[in-house]
Amino acid sequence: MRIAALTHIEDVTRRLAISGFRAVAPDFLSASGGTPADPDAAREAIGKLDLAVATADAAATLVLLKSLPGANGKAAITGFCWGGAMVNRVAASAGNGLGAAISFYGSAPDPALAPRIEAKVLLHLAERDERVNRTALPWAAALRAAGESVETHVYPGTDHAFHNDTSAERYNQDAARLAWQRTLILLRSEIG
């Protein structure tokens, strides 16, 4: 049953918690008043964000989560769209502090950073998402060439944001379910 009052990211965080994971959805725009509900305003605010600071904040969040009482010392990160791109940035900077990095249709950093990755990487890509795939597919190839553990899935007939069930025009139920199943399999194998 869909809880209408939750945003997609809040609902994904809820789903992770229900699946037995300690989950948090940091708002990297909280210092500037939080993520606006209006998508255009959110994109504008993200454009002004200091990515180095946001990446460091994400890495610090992982350290905190791993140290909480009852934690097993392992952490993973997942994200969607801009958050998927953040997953790739954090994976390139987190070293052995990250067990799994799961990016949903996120653009990728310079492929030269691939040898820095120590986490298992799972990339979920939409077949029709040419903008993201222009960087994500070379990133996946660079990870493989560097001997990194990467699993890449391009979901046929899908558009960017195919996992977002709050967007009827983009949501693809079959692809979203399969991507989520693959996500949970990786999380269970890498962080318990």
Taken in order 101, 42, 63, 14, the sign of the CA dihedral is negative
- Here the tokens at position 91 are 């994976």
Tens digit of each residue's pLDDT, the chain (192 residues): 344 456 899 999 999 999 999 999 998 888 888 888 888 888 899 999 999 999 999 999 999 999 999 999 999 999 999 999 999 999 999 988 899 999 999 999 999 999 999 999 999 999 999 999 999 999 999 999 999 999 999 999 999 999 999 999 999 999 999 999 999 999 999 998
Longest dimension (CA), the chain: 43
String of DSSP letters for 43-97: HHHHHTS-HHHHHHHHHHHHHHHHHSTT--S--EEEEETHHHHHHHHHHHHHGGG
pLDDT at 33: 87
pLDDT at 3: 43
Q: Kindly list the strands in the beta sheet with 76-80, ordered across the sheet, starting from the edge strand earlier in the chain.
A: 76-80, 100-104, 120-126, 150-155
Q: Which residues of 76-92 are buried (b: 16+ CB within 10 A; e: fewer)?
A: bbbbbbbbbbbbbbbbb
In three-state secondary structure terms, 155 is strand
User: How many Cα atoms are found within 13 Å in the side-chain-facing hemisphere of 123?
Assistant: 28
- Using alpha carbons, list the distances in angstroms from residue 106 to 20, 66, 109, 120: 25, 24, 10, 16
**Residue-range domains of the chain with CATH:** 8-190 (3.40.50.1820)
pLDDT at 170: 94
Cα separation, 93 vs 60, whole angstroms: 11
- Using alpha carbons, list the distances in angstroms from residue 60 to 82, 108, 118, 143, 190: 19, 21, 17, 24, 20
